[in-house]
Amino acid sequence: MIQRGSSLIDGAFVVCTAFDAADFTAVLCGGSAATFYAPEAYMSADDDFVLTVELPRREISAIMAPLGFRESGRIYVHDAVVWTVDFPRGPLAIGRDIVTTWATERRGAEILHVISPTDSVRDRFMHYFAWNDYSGLTQAVAVARAQRERVDLDAFRAWAETELRETPAYESRRVEAFFKALHEA
């Protein structure tokens, strides 16, 4: 149940559990996944869920309404909390990679599907890769530091090299900047 003081991550568990109960899979991604993995370093303002099957808006609303959420433009808002919920269009992908596996966390009877720590690093880094967005770099580094044991840096580098080959606008110095920042910790 969402109530005053419920955190972004509390809400993520509630929403994901509701979709799970309706036999749909909603995967937490974007900045909210980074907040899940590195709450001390980064606080997102909304829960981003990608659904593994595309649902009409009215079906999403039918699942969200009993939780107290109502549609406000593209997003869902709740009177008790300031954070919002968004359902970006799928497929779940990071750069050219379509993501088909994710982590599943449990908290009592609640469930949360969330992109893996490695994918969260890749997802945040994409903003730096594509737009030179320095905040994306800092978030990627924060997740990699907070989840040091779970992030596969070799996989990250291999993926980055593939993206560099496929997207000429990307620059390899940004990959090196990530590793430099990570090792400066």
The crossing angle, in degrees rounded to 10, of helices 117-131 and 134-146 is: 160
Instruction: Give the whole-angstrom CA distance, residue 122 versus residue 144.
Output: 10
Strands 26-29 and 46-51: antiparallel
List alpha helices for the chain, DSSP H. Answer: 8-21, 30-37, 57-64, 117-131, 134-146, 153-166, 172-183
Q: Which stretch binds another protein (CB under 8 A): 16-24, 30-38, 77-85, 92-100?
A: 92-100
List the one residue from 77, 93, 155, 177 that touches another protein (CB under 8 A): 93
Residue from 21, 22, 45, 98 binding another protein (CB under 8 A): 98
Binds another protein (CB under 8 A): choice among 43, 75, 130, 155:
130
- Selected from 72, 131, 157, 180, the binder of another protein by CB under 8 A is 131
Contact status: 167 vs another protein (CB under 8 A): yes
Q: What are the φ and ψ backbone dihedral angles of 145, each rounded to 5 degrees?
A: -70, -45
By CB under 8 A, the count of residues binding another protein is 18
Q: What residue ranges bind another protein (CB under 8 A)?
A: 74, 88-89, 91, 93, 95-98, 126-127, 129-131, 166-167, 169-170
